Amino acid sequence: MQLPIRKVLEVVRDGEGAWDTRTIDLNLGFRGVVIERGILADLRELERLGLLHASEGTARSTGPRWRITDAGADWLREHD
Protein backbone atom coordinates (compact mmCIF):
# COMPACT_ATOMS: atom_id res chain seq x y z
CA MET A 1 0.00 0.00 0.00
CA GLN A 2 1.67 3.18 -1.21
CA LEU A 3 -1.00 5.69 -0.20
CA PRO A 4 -2.17 6.65 3.31
CA ILE A 5 -5.23 4.54 4.09
CA ARG A 6 -6.92 7.27 6.11
CA LYS A 7 -6.75 9.85 3.31
CA VAL A 8 -7.96 7.38 0.70
CA LEU A 9 -10.92 6.32 2.84
CA GLU A 10 -11.81 9.95 3.58
CA VAL A 11 -11.75 10.89 -0.10
CA VAL A 12 -13.82 7.89 -1.14
CA ARG A 13 -16.28 8.59 1.67
CA ASP A 14 -16.59 12.21 0.56
CA GLY A 15 -17.28 11.07 -3.01
CA GLU A 16 -20.36 9.18 -1.74
CA GLY A 17 -19.94 6.43 -4.33
CA ALA A 18 -20.05 8.81 -7.30
CA TRP A 19 -16.31 9.22 -7.93
CA ASP A 20 -14.27 7.15 -10.33
CA THR A 21 -10.58 6.34 -10.00
CA ARG A 22 -9.41 9.52 -11.73
CA THR A 23 -11.58 11.79 -9.60
CA ILE A 24 -10.30 10.09 -6.45
CA ASP A 25 -6.74 10.52 -7.73
CA LEU A 26 -7.33 14.26 -8.31
CA ASN A 27 -8.94 14.76 -4.91
CA LEU A 28 -6.09 13.00 -3.14
CA GLY A 29 -3.69 15.38 -4.89
CA PHE A 30 -5.79 18.38 -3.80
CA ARG A 31 -5.40 17.12 -0.21
CA GLY A 32 -1.64 16.96 -0.47
CA VAL A 33 -1.16 13.26 -1.10
CA VAL A 34 1.81 12.68 -3.39
CA ILE A 35 0.90 10.05 -5.96
CA GLU A 36 3.94 8.58 -7.67
CA ARG A 37 2.15 5.81 -9.54
CA GLY A 38 -1.40 4.85 -10.32
CA ILE A 39 -3.75 4.37 -7.41
CA LEU A 40 -5.82 1.53 -8.83
CA ALA A 41 -3.70 -1.17 -7.17
CA ASP A 42 -4.13 0.54 -3.78
CA LEU A 43 -7.89 0.89 -4.27
CA ARG A 44 -8.10 -2.80 -5.21
CA GLU A 45 -6.10 -3.72 -2.09
CA LEU A 46 -8.50 -1.76 0.11
CA GLU A 47 -11.36 -3.50 -1.66
CA ARG A 48 -9.73 -6.88 -0.96
CA LEU A 49 -9.53 -5.87 2.72
CA GLY A 50 -13.26 -5.05 2.68
CA LEU A 51 -12.81 -1.30 3.27
CA LEU A 52 -13.96 -0.18 -0.19
CA HIS A 53 -16.33 -1.46 -2.84
CA ALA A 54 -16.04 -0.92 -6.58
CA SER A 55 -19.10 -0.71 -8.79
CA GLU A 56 -19.33 -0.53 -12.55
CA GLY A 57 -18.55 2.92 -13.90
CA THR A 58 -20.26 4.72 -16.73
CA ALA A 59 -18.95 5.21 -20.25
CA ARG A 60 -17.55 8.59 -19.13
CA SER A 61 -15.79 7.31 -16.00
CA THR A 62 -12.18 6.22 -15.72
CA GLY A 63 -12.54 2.82 -14.12
CA PRO A 64 -15.11 1.82 -11.52
CA ARG A 65 -16.87 4.11 -9.10
CA TRP A 66 -15.82 3.60 -5.48
CA ARG A 67 -17.64 3.75 -2.17
CA ILE A 68 -16.56 3.14 1.39
CA THR A 69 -17.99 0.06 3.09
CA ASP A 70 -19.31 -0.16 6.64
CA ALA A 71 -15.98 -1.76 7.59
CA GLY A 72 -14.16 1.21 6.02
CA ALA A 73 -16.31 3.67 7.98
CA ASP A 74 -15.60 1.69 11.14
CA TRP A 75 -11.86 1.80 10.35
CA LEU A 76 -12.02 5.60 10.10
CA ARG A 77 -13.85 5.88 13.43
CA GLU A 78 -11.36 3.55 15.13
CA HIS A 79 -8.37 5.50 13.81
CA ASP A 80 -9.70 8.97 14.59
The predicted structure's pLDDT at residue 37: 81
CATH number reported for the structural domain that contains residue 64 in this entry? 1.10.10.10
Checking if the pLDDT of 1 tops 90, the result is: no
Q: What pLDDT is attached to residue 45?
A: 94
Select from 65, 39, 42 the least CA-distant residue to 54: 65
- The parent domain of residue 74 ranges over 5-78
User: How far, in Å, CA of 78 to CA of 2, rounded?
Assistant: 21
Tens of pLDDT along 3-53?
899 999 999 999 999 999 999 999 999 999 988 888 999 999 999 999 999
Cα-flanking dihedrals φ and ψ of residue 49, to 5°? -80, -5
Worst-scoring range by mean pLDDT, 32-46, 48-62, 63-77? 48-62
Domain count, the chain: 1
